[in-house]
Structures are given as C-alpha cells and as structure tokens.
Amino acid sequence: MKILVASSEVAPFAKTGGLADVCGALPIELAHLDHDVSVIMPAFRQVRNCGQNIKPTEVTFSLEIGDRHLSGRLLQSQLPNSNVKIYFVEQAELFDRPQLYGDKAQDYEDNCVRFTFFCRAVLQWVSQAVLPVDVIHCNDWQAALIPALLKTQFSGDPNLASIRTLMSIHNMAYQGRFGHGDMPFTGIDWKYFNWRQMEFHGDLNLLKTGIVFADAVSTVSPRYALEIQTEEYGCGLDAVLKQRGDALHGILNGVHYDLWDPAVDRSLPQNYGADNWQNGKRVCKRVLQAKMGLAQKADVPLIGMIGRIADQKGWDLVAKVLETRLPQSEEQWAILGTGDPRYEALLVSLAERYPTRVGVQIGFSEPLARQIEAASDMYLMPSLYEPCGLNQMYSLKYGSVPVVRETGGLADTITDATKENRVAQTANGFSFTNYTPADLAATIERACQLFMDDSQQWQQLVETGMRQDWSWRQSAKHYEAIFQELLT
C-alpha cells in the first residue's frame, strides 16, 4: 500500500506532545511491513531549527483561502534511521512563528486559516504530482479537513478519487473549534455547515468534520474508543462517535524501543535489562538521589512523575495526597514538569520543607526524564482521563512499576497487582478506579507496602513488566489491517 501520514507534529522535527512520537514512529513500522509510506506536516519554525537535514523541492503551492492569496513550497527530509520521506508545507506568514499553535496566553487567531492551507496544500500536491496514494492517515483536528475536502471541493478530481482516509483522534479535548465566520476559509460549500456534518453549537468544528467525512476513525486505545462514546469523555461529540461506532477502532500507541530501552539508553549512569535490573536500578537510584538532593536510601520507595502538571494528569489528587502523606510516610518523590502555577508553587514549597524526600525540577529535560524513569521504583499516573499514555509503557520497560488510574490506555496496559493476578503472574502495576484522593493514597500505600515487605513479589512484578512487548510493531499491524479493509 501507498500511505501518506498527515500530521501537525512529527518527532524529531516538531513536538508539543505524544502526537509527535506517534507520527515519528508509526510510519517507520508501517514501512517495515513493506508499505510505501510518506509523511507530511507544516514547516514550522521549530522544524527549521531542529537540526535535521531539510532540502527544498521544486513543488510550489498557490491557494485562495477566503479572500487571501497564499503561496508556498514543499520541503523534504527523511525520518531518522529510516527510508521514510517526510515533506513540509512551507508558508512563512502562517508557520514561521515562535510556537506551533499559539503563545501561552491563547491560540493563534488564524489557526483555521493556517491548517486549512495545510490540508488543501496536501491535496493539491497529491493531485498535481499525480502522487500514488491509497490511504491518507489524518491525525487530529489540524489534518481533519482532508477527508471533507476529498468528498466535497476535490470530489471531481480523478487523481484523488480512489484515496481512502483514516481519521485518528489523539485527544478529544482538542477539536479545532472556530466561529462560524471561519467557514469560508475552508472552501467548502455552506450547505455542509449543518448539525450532522461541520457545525457544532453554532461553531465550525474541524475534528467533528473529520470524524463525519473520514472512511474510518481510530483513537489511541481500545478503552478510550469506548469512553469517547459516552457523555463523560466525549467532549460533546459522543453522539457523533456513536453514529460512527462501526467504523471506530481503538489501537494502542506503541513504544519505540530503539529509543526507549534502559539497556542502551545513553542518559543513564548504568545500563541494565530484565536480567540485571536490580543492580542497574540501584546505581541509577543512588545517582538520581544525589542529583536531586534526596537521602541516599536504597530501601525507601522512590516515586517518579514526569510531564504536564495539570488537573487532567491527576494533580488535584496528587497535591492532596502529598500534603497528607509527607508528614507521616517515608517514600521519596522525584518530579519533573511544568504547568499549572498553583501546583508548581506547591511543589517548590514541599521541596523546601522536605528537601531529602521531595526532589522537584520545574521545566523539562529529556535526560533527566529518562534518569527518573530508570531510578524510580514506581511511576505515578493518576490521570482524570488518558487517551493512551506512553510513560506507563516506558516505565514498564525501565522497571519502574506504574501506579495508575484505570482509564483509557492506562486500563489497557496495566494489570493491577491483586493477589490473584500476582499468583497468575499477569500483574505489572497498581491501579484504582474512583477518582478520589483516598483511593489514590490507598493505592500508593499498597504499592509501597509490597515494595518494602515482599522483595520476591516485587521482583516478579518488575520483570513481568520489563518483558512485555508494547512496541510499535504490534500497533502497526492493526493499522495495516484497517487500511487493507478500507481498500477492499
């Protein structure tokens, strides 16, 4: 098959979250399955400054977006360590900006124009170059106009007539919602601005548009595919997703083990694998404790947390649990991230009050993130919702036992360490269901007690997780099956 992956983020060229990791790894695995795969994204300023070798092509664009005439050109590179070509839609006025989607205060006001130009440029290029494409894999709202354009404005183009589309949802909370006055920018007839297709409570909703017009829809875990069809998790689009239920697939994201493996990770003070993890993690723990000012204690559980400090990630629960547990418990905490100023201030305060038990770095550091994964005995992800999650899968590989809330991809990857599951040797972490501080605290206590009281059971838990395969190889086969079904 000839597959084109359209995304606004692709690692290592431009990244704000997990979408970039998905679109940087999945195309390579699809290529390993003998498919002809290409990737296309906007040429953001971050792309130009990423350090990769990017070359101009002779392809140019000339498009009318509303009453504006916008031109651009196509750039080209390759995904690292692969033969997969990646292309970039260059248009300096739209994409040469400090951030991808907006500054800290708000999104860019012309985001509808920016990503309409991207989607229409993709189809203009495919049509005019007569580029053989069987399937376009559209990721999130930034690429969601492509399925609609194929079935409306570009429907009479014979070079595009046989193309099928898959619309992938990475997080329902981000929908590309704009005022109805932005509808003309899309170039699509106003008749499609109705409650069944593109309209949403009087606004233009690009994610809804992609869901309605795509030939198939996917999201990033089986549990999340069920959750988003409910009022609680559907973010207003649950009814639309229910209508497309027969075409909706849940496929777990994967881990790129060439990049995430403690046996070869150059960020670690000592490498290790499933057969020698105890000594390797002991060294990593000692080094991290010294680096973050924590007491040098091997027998005290170390809990790691990395990433966005926000309510969605469960920080309203974590804040209450920290304030309750720290005066009376012994575990240590290593925290790296940035986000809500309230929680950042609380963490800095706790680190000052408990300097040998709470290590905090506000910001982000890729080497430190990996060192925390390797040093931690447990990794905490008590998310309110989590479409897939990658850190729990990284943690399994690094022998840091996940403690998670049972939602989305966390529920699909973590098997709770109940007595029955430990006997069956299927347990790989700890989970809880009710989103309350009490349930989180009880689960942390359960994990800490097993760590301190039963080294044999803990060893089994760690090694079960480290030997599991959550690679992109498995996920790519599911995408391959969907693409084949669309074409037959």
Pairing type for strands 164-169 and 358-362 reads unpaired
Closest CA to 141 of 111, 183, 106: 111
At 144, give phi and psi (nearest 5°): -75, -15
Q: What is the pLDDT of residues 373-423, one digit of tens each?
A: 999 999 999 999 999 999 999 999 999 999 999 999 999 999 999 999 999
CATH topology for the 2-254+473-487 domain: Rossmann fold (3.40.50)
Burial of 44 (0-12, 13-18, 19+ CB in 10 A): buried
Task: Check residue 299 and give its pLDDT.
Answer: 95
Inter-CA distances, 473 with 32, 253, 478, Å: 9, 10, 9
Task: Check residue 461 and give its pLDDT.
Answer: 97
Task: Check residue 104 and give its pLDDT.
Answer: 74
CA-CA distance, 210 to 175, in Å (whole number)? Answer: 10
Task: Provide the residue ranges of all domains of the chain, joining segments of one domain with +.
Answer: 2-254+473-487, 277-470
Task: Confirm whether 2-254+473-487 and 277-470 share one CATH topology.
Answer: yes
Task: Check residue 29 and give its pLDDT.
Answer: 95
CA-CA distance, 66 to 185, in Å (whole number)? Answer: 5
Query: Which long-range contacts link 284-290 to residues 24+ away (Cβ below 8 Å)?
Result: 284/371, 284/374, 284/375, 285/375, 285/376, 285/377, 287/371, 287/375, 288/334, 288/359, 288/371, 288/372, 288/374, 288/375, 289/332, 289/359, 289/375
For the chain, how long is the longest CA-to-CA vector?
70
Residue 68 gets the label, from left (phi > 0), alpha (psi -120 to 50) or beta, of beta
Q: What is the pLDDT of residues 17-57, one digit of tens each?
A: 889 989 999 999 999 999 999 999 999 999 999 989 999 99
Low-confidence residues in the chain, pLDDT < 50: none
Task: For domain 277-470, say whether CATH 3.40.630.10 is its number.
Answer: no
- Structure letter (DSSP) for residue 102: B
